[in-house]
Amino acid sequence: MTAKIINGKEIAKNIRQSLKEKISLLKTPPALAVILAGSDPASEIYVKNKEKACHEVGITARTHKFPATVSEKELLDLINDLNRTPDINGILVQLPLPAHINSEKILQAVSPAKDVDGFHPLNTGLLQQKSPDTFIPCTPKGIIRLLHSLSLDLTGLNAVVIGRSQIVGLPVSNLLLQENCTVTVTHSKTQNLSALCRSADILIAALGKPEFITKEYIKPSAIIIDVGINRTPNSLKGDVRLKDALDTAAYVTPVPGGVGPMTIAMLLENTFEAFLKQNRP
């Protein structure tokens, strides 16, 4: 059996095109402020890609770049300024922050109304309550869109999530529950991981270990969503060995070209939504 590839790149392109059309009808463009501290090469690439994607759909993006020695106060002062600036609709703090900075404190300083990453505790709580007033974190939101693109009934399916991070594992587990899946959240202390994974109709791999998920973890006909982005000396690898997923599963997302482009598309969508919420008549 050969699994079908879920083409995140194409799905994300369609979302961006539709956003571009909607944004072209606005009198003023939505605006996103990005905060980048330090010189982590991966973070610099992510921020460049986000800026480029914003410009392509007509969102104004401005990056505030700081050296790794930046103080917490400098970051908090900027965030307070951006919170008060009416023509900034979204604020994104690129993670990871330098080790001496308390990331939680910084993320909590972002106004929940401009928190387009959905990391503020208020938005996390609203997500649990299924409130439409939250911002859904971009990667989990993108994953659910990929699943919806299959036009399958997800009700009652067994979903196994590998990883319990605040950014991916926990929110995607929550969203899968909202899709009426039966959800198992696994992590580094889980026992019998491969057996649990083999029971998964939907397997979300978000552990950050290159090609960790092999045939023994995959139920025949499963839907495999590979969230991992692992830079190896020669290439970018997902958490799933693609060949094994192609041989065993029904659907699989590739790396690159699966979840990654959806994360950026959802950031654009959340920024557009922030603009609309802030400009309600």
User: How far apart are alpha carbons 168 and 189 in whole angstroms?
Assistant: 17
Binders of ligand NAD: how many residues, by CB under 6 A?
24
Q: Which amino acid is at 255?
A: V
The question of whether 166 is a catalytic residue gets the answer no
Active site residue 48: no
From the list 114, 115, 117, 141, the catalytic residue is 117
Does 270 participate in binding ligand NAD (rule CB under 6 A)? no
> Cα–chain-centroid distance for residue 137?
6
Considering the rule CB under 6 A, would residue 29 count as an interface residue with ligand NAD?
Answer: no
Q: Which tokens sit at 186?
A: 């696994």
Q: Please enumerate in sequence order all residues whose Cβ is within 8 A of that of 14, keeping only pairs 6 or more positions apart, or say none.
A: none
Verify binding: residue 259, ligand NAD, rule CB under 6 A. yes
C-alpha to C-alpha distance for 279 and 281, rounded to whole angstroms: 6
Quick one: tokens of 17? 């095109």
* Interface with ligand NAD in residues 191-250 (CB under 6 A): 193, 206-209, 227-230
Distance separating alpha carbons of residues 151 and 99, to the nearest angstrom: 43
Q: Which of 50, 141, 219, 237 is catalytic?
A: 50
Does 169 participate in binding ligand NAD (rule CB under 6 A)? yes
Q: How far is the CB of 123 from ligand NAD (least distance, A)?
A: 17
| Cβ–Cβ under 8 Å, residues 113 and 133 | no
Residue 257 as a binder of ligand NAD (CB under 6 A): the answer is no
Catalytic, 50? Answer: yes
Task: Write out the residues near ligand NAD by the rule CB under 6 A.
Answer: 139, 162-165, 167-169, 186-188, 190, 193, 206-209, 227-230, 259-260, 263
Q: Which residues carry out catalysis?
A: 50, 94, 117
